Amino acid sequence: MNLNNIRIVLHQPSHPGNIGAVARAMWTMNLSHLYLVQPKSFPDPIATKRATGAEALLEHAVVVDTLDEALAECGLVIGSSAQTRHLPWPILSPPECAQKAVQQASKQQVALVFGPERTGLSNEELQRCHYQVAIPANPAYSSLNLAMAVQVICYEVYGEFLSHHATEGVMRELASDAQLQSFYGHLDKLLDAVHFRRPSSSPDLIPKLKRIFNRAELDEDEINLLRGIFKKICNDPSI
Ligand code: SAH
């Protein structure tokens, strides 16, 4: 997974404040490549002020004259627009857009394109995108502020990135069922050895303890640690 391959492209943004707010929105979501196509005013102190903390991202923003230049090396291009078109374009929800963008970014550059504040993307501009992404909104007023639209999409992209990381990097190998069952056998012995169990004890005692240990999703190392403690408590070499 490579967020470095995902760029945000603002087509003809007219308010420098929005450019700064977009930089901040991107940086909070770990995205750092901003392309500006014919910005009305950039660099601009208003943009820098609104970036609060993401000024470095603005300094590295790439300013170009045409969408062609902003998109040239990109394999996948997704255009963001609320509007349904006369010729409907294949439409994605923000999570679907994030999934496609993050997947493709493991191979090549991906662009997420946002239109000018007043007019949005033209049909022609949208039609050079593989897909349109639309943020679900009030049908009577579906047009978000540019930076807020960027925030929503970047949030989805980062969430998608994190969910891949969760499955790739963070998964631990849990103890096998055989190891776990043998651990429960030792636990049983421990309860007897320390006279915890009484004739009046609830039959649910062992299932309740199992529930606790199951919730902990023990791995082999943790089982060995607990077993060492049990052994010490009841001084029983068979544990
Ligand atoms: N008046 C314009 C709105 C432009 S808002 C219009 O009707 O299209 C600036 C940009 O923010 C849009 O071009 C689009 O890229 C993005 N945007 C705003 N609201 C959006 C939504 N609901 N779904 C997807 N993108 C949106």
Task: Provide DSSP, 124-150.
Answer: HHHTTSSEEE-----TTS----HHHHH
Q: Are residues 16 and 74 in the same domain?
A: yes
Q: What is the pLDDT of residue 28?
A: 98
Among 196, 187, 213, 82, residue whose Cα is nearest residue 137: 82
Q: Are residues 102 and 23 in the same domain?
A: yes
Which CATH number goes with the domain that contains 33? Answer: 3.40.1280.10
Q: Are residues 144 and 195 in the same domain?
A: no
d(CA 205, CA 210): 9
Q: Are residues 137 and 197 in the same domain?
A: no
- The pTM assigned to this predicted structure is 0.76
Q: Are residues 37 and 105 in the same domain?
A: yes
Among 11, 12, 27, residue whose Cα is nearest residue 158: 27
At 7-41, the pLDDT tens digits run 999 999 999 999 999 999 999 999 999 999 999 99
- 217 inside domain: yes
The domain of 65 spans: 3-163
- 170 inside domain: no
Q: Is the CB of 112 under 6 A from ligand 1?
A: no
Percentage of the chain beyond pLDDT 70 is: 97
Number of structural domains in the chain: 2
Q: Are residues 120 and 212 in the same domain?
A: no
At 170-221, the pLDDT tens digits run 556 778 777 877 888 888 888 888 888 888 888 888 788 877 887 787 888 8
Q: Are residues 7 and 121 in the same domain?
A: yes
Q: Are residues 153 and 228 in the same domain?
A: no
Q: At 22, which amino acid appears?
A: V
Q: Is the CB of 121 under 6 A from ligand 1?
A: yes
Q: What is the pLDDT of residue 193?
A: 86
Residue nearest to atom 14 of ligand 1 (CA): 81
- Report the alpha-carbon angle 209-214-219, nearest 5: 120
- How is residue 116 written in tokens? 């000018």
Handedness of CA 41, 42, 46, 47 (dihedral sign): positive
3-class SS of residue 93: coil
* Nearest atom in ligand 1 to 79's CA: 15
Residue nearest to atom 6 of ligand 1 (CA): 120
- 111 inside domain: yes
Indicate the burial class of 87 (C-beta count within 10 angstroms; 0-12, 13-18, 19 or more): exposed
- 168 inside domain: no
- 45 inside domain: yes
Q: Are residues 12 and 59 in the same domain?
A: yes
Q: Are residues 20 and 104 in the same domain?
A: yes
CB 239 within 8 A of CB 230: yes
